[in-house]
Structure 1
Amino acid sequence: MTRNTKITSIRPAGFNDRGEDHQVVTVTGGAGSYRREPCRNCPWRLDAVGEFPAEAFKHSAGTAYDMAQASFACHESGAEKPAICAGFLLRGADHNLLVRLKRMRGECHDVHDGGHELHENYREMAIANGVDPEDPVLAACRD
């Protein structure tokens, strides 16, 4: 792991559509890096629905709450070298305090969609991936 990076929790997230087991890892610290473009199976991409189980989106919904201080990380970057997800920066981070502060410092402005269609917001992405629209975890998500 990079200096100052610490795993603070690991939560099982169940199985995706292909029977692959997943978990949500919460990491603090790190170098503050971010992805510039959504990766191949970024959950924010419309063509990547079903890559991750609904439970993973329930665990991560808090990143889309107003004034959230945790960010939605890129799964490809992993816990070793955590980086904020490009899709999140483009569609889910406008109300996230951590990201708002980064943008005020001139960070995270060079992110683009890479020509991929993305979900409009966290709620839409979570519902597309199996979270019940009435699930209370989505109630506080900012669109």
Structure 2
Amino acid sequence: MSKSTPKLLRVRPAGPDHQVVTVTSASKAYRRQPCPSCPWRVDATGTFPAEAFRHSAETAYDMSQHVFSCHESGQKKPATCAGFLLRGATHNLAARLGYLNGRYGHDVTDGGLDLHPSYAAMAIANGVLPDEPCLAACRGPND
């Protein structure tokens, strides 16, 4: 498999010290366990501004082709977030195809960490109001 350089698609500000970056990537990189400040971790609630969750909500939409990437991996070496694979990828088309084509393995674990049960729950815990339009189309693992 040839290596491809990620292509920057868009950058959206999400607070004074944060941004949401969307890149393309043919990389098979993914995290096997949530990182120390993973937004899916309950103990990391409040680390990122609500605007970041508004921008990333599309990753939880039915048949979405956008995956939630690990913020620690950065734009140059993007990797799919372990928390997303564990709690937010059930209805995501890109993730489902990633499992089918071998991009992701079944070796992701929560490491005993308490994770938010769904994207909407995570976003709400981080300041997004439950009735905001960005959450209306979010699917959870049990939907």
Given the two structures, how large is their TM-score scaled by the length of structure 2?
0.92
Match in the other structure for 2:136: 139
Shift of 1:108: 3.1
2-side partners of 1:30 and 1:23: how far apart? 22
Given the two structures, how large is their TM-score scaled by the length of structure 1?
0.92
Shift of 1:119: 0.3
Q: Which runs of 5+ in 2 are unaligned?
A: none
Q: Which runs of 5+ in 1 are unaligned?
A: 16-20
20, 24, 28: which one pairs with 1:28?
A: 24
Q: Residue 43 of structure 1 contacts residue 51 of structure 1 at CA under 8 Å; is this kept in 2?
A: yes
Question: Once the two structures are superposed, what CA deviation does each residue of 1:28-57 show, in whole Å capped at 9, x if it has no partner?
Answer: 024131000000000000000011000000
Question: Aligned-residue CA RMSD in angstroms?
Answer: 1.1
Letter in 1 for 2:15: G
Match in the other structure for 1:42: 38
2-side partners of 1:29 and 1:54: how far apart? 26
Q: Residue 89 of structure 1 contacts residue 108 of structure 1 at CA under 8 Å; is this kept in 2?
A: no
Higher share in strand: 1
Provide the identity percentage.
64
The answer as to 2:80 corresponding to 1:84 is yes
Match in the other structure for 2:14: 13
Q: Secondary structure at the match of 1:84?
A: coil
Shift of 1:109: 1.1
The answer as to 2:132 corresponding to 1:116 is no
